[in-house]
Structure 1
C-alpha cells in the first residue's frame, strides 16, 4: 500500500461525509501535516499521511505538538483502517 492511495481514500471519505480535505502547505514552515480536514459544523483536524509502518520525523512531531498546544487535533494516518475511526473522532454534523 502506498501513501498516495491512503491519502486518496482519506479525501474520498471526508468528501462522502460532506467535508473538505485540502492539501496543506505553509510556505516557509517545514514539517506541517499533509492534509487539513474541514468537517461540517466547524470541526477541523490535521492529518499527516504515511506509508504503512512509517513514522513521523522529529520536525513533524514538533509541528504536531505546536498545533495541539493551540487546541487542534493532529493524526498520523498509515492505514486505510484508521480513516473511519479518525473521522468519527473528528466529528462534524451530518450534512
Structure 2
C-alpha cells in the first residue's frame, strides 16, 4: 500500500464523520504534518501520513514535538487500521 492510498482512506473516513481533512502546505515550515483534521465540535488534529512501516524524518519529528508542546494532537498514520483510533482520539471519545 502506498502513502497516497493510506491518505485517501483517511480523507474518506474524516468525510464520513462530517469533518474536513485539509492538505497542509506550509511554505517556510519544512516538516509540517501532511493533513489537518477538523471534526465537528471544534476538534482538530494533525496527521503525518506514511506508507506502512515508514517513520517520520528528523525534521518531521521536530515539528510534531513543537505542535504537541502547543497542546495539539499529532498522529503518525502508517496503517489504515489506525484511522478509527486516531479519529476517536481527535473527537475526545
Q: TM-score, normalised by structure 2?
A: 0.97
Q: CA RMSD, aligned part only?
A: 1.2
Deviation at 1:30, TM superposition (A): 0.4
Deviation at 1:25, TM superposition (A): 1.0
SS of 1:56's equivalent in the other structure is: coil
Structure 1 match to 2:9 = 9
Structure 1: any 5+ residue segments left out of the alignment? none
Number of residue equivalences: 93
CA distance in 2, matches of 1:12, 1:86: 14
Q: Does 1:55 align with 2:55?
A: yes
CA distance in 2, matches of 1:80, 1:63: 23
Structure 2: any 5+ residue segments left out of the alignment? none
Q: Runs ≥4 in structure 1, deviation > 6 angstroms?
A: none
Q: TM-score, normalised by structure 1?
A: 0.95
Deviation at 1:80, TM superposition (A): 0.7
